[in-house]
Chain A
Amino acid sequence: MSKPILVIPCSGIGKPFGSISRDATFLVCDELRPGKADTLCLSLLVMGDEEARSKVASSKCITVDGCPLACARNNVERSGGEVAAEFRVIDLLRENRGLKPRTVTFLDEDGEKLSKLLADKIATKVDELMEEAR
């Protein structure tokens, strides 16, 4: 079996977008594509942890950012990783203008809906990248 695809969220803590990036990532890694997708601690990677850096360097990465500052993408690239695909919660919000997530600590109904939509998109991309790796 191919190496799992690394899905790395920003987990921003100031707005709901970061919580959605995090929740969608866990949905993919733990429920939708267990074994095919994995994640790691972004802060550990940026702090130079050798194991995390080596994992990123030898895997295909999908970054999931809440806002345009793209901390996950930027930090993965700075740590020597190659970003095979990226998702941004704000793009998903533009596609789903009726959904207005408001809470950060525990996602509200709209936040959960967006997380599920995002998770489906990420899972599809995981499948594509796994297929390419065959």
Chain B
Amino acid sequence: MKIKPKVGVVSCSGECCSLGTLSRVATRLVLEELRSDQTVTICLPLFLAGETEENEFAKEHPTIAVDGCGKLCAKKAIAKYSKEPAAGIDVEALLKEWGVEPPGSRRVLDTDGVKMARRLAELLANEVDEIMEAD
């Protein structure tokens, strides 16, 4: 039996605005509900602090960077310290594409914010499937 490697989903969790919260909640939803057996996450602050285990994982496994804004911290960090992520999402650009405004609060997502996070999580889950399929 061939055991497929897991996909790392890495959120920027940016604190500046609600887009970071959206990226974080969507990432957790993929991990907890949608693709719990196929995914793990990497703690970005730990990764950036040079934690070997986290950096090695991203070198050996495909990753998806989930960035709140166009500064793309998660994507750039993975590329800098490990290797290019297999996929990346810029949540700010995506919301513009969807024609929706970012959630009002960065602390607690309201009903619409949670719906947005679920929609984003579905998209991430599809990315996971595509990566697993191609592997």
Interface hub of A25, A41, A46 (most chain B Cβ within 10 A): A41
Total number of A-B contacts with CB less than 8 angstroms?
93
B59 at the interface (CB under 8 A from A): no
Q: How far is the CA of A71 from the CA of B49 in the complex (A)?
A: 6
Interface size on A, residues (CB 8 A): 32
Judging by beta carbons under 8 Å apart, are A13 and B13 in contact?
Answer: yes
Partner of B44, one of A13, A30, A78: A13
Q: How far is the CA of A71 from the CA of B25 in the complex (A)?
A: 20
| Known contacts A71-B49, A105-B28; A43/B44 CB under 8 A | yes
Residue of B nearest to A11 (CB): B13
Q: Quote the shortest CB–CB distance from B131 to chain A (angstroms).
A: 20
B residues near A (Cβ < 8 Å) are 11-16, 20, 24-25, 27-29, 32, 41, 43-46, 48-49, 51, 71, 73-74, 76-77, 80, 105-107
Contacts A13-B28, A78-B49 known; list 20 others, CB within 8 Å: A10-B45, A12-B46, A13-B41, A26-B15, A39-B15, A39-B16, A40-B15, A41-B16, A42-B15, A42-B48, A43-B44, A43-B74, A43-B77, A44-B16, A46-B49, A47-B71, A47-B73, A71-B45, A71-B46, A74-B49
Can you list 14 A-B pairs, Cβ within 8 angstroms, ordered by A? A9-B15, A11-B13, A26-B106, A26-B107, A27-B107, A41-B12, A41-B14, A43-B14, A44-B16, A44-B71, A46-B49, A47-B48, A71-B48, A75-B45
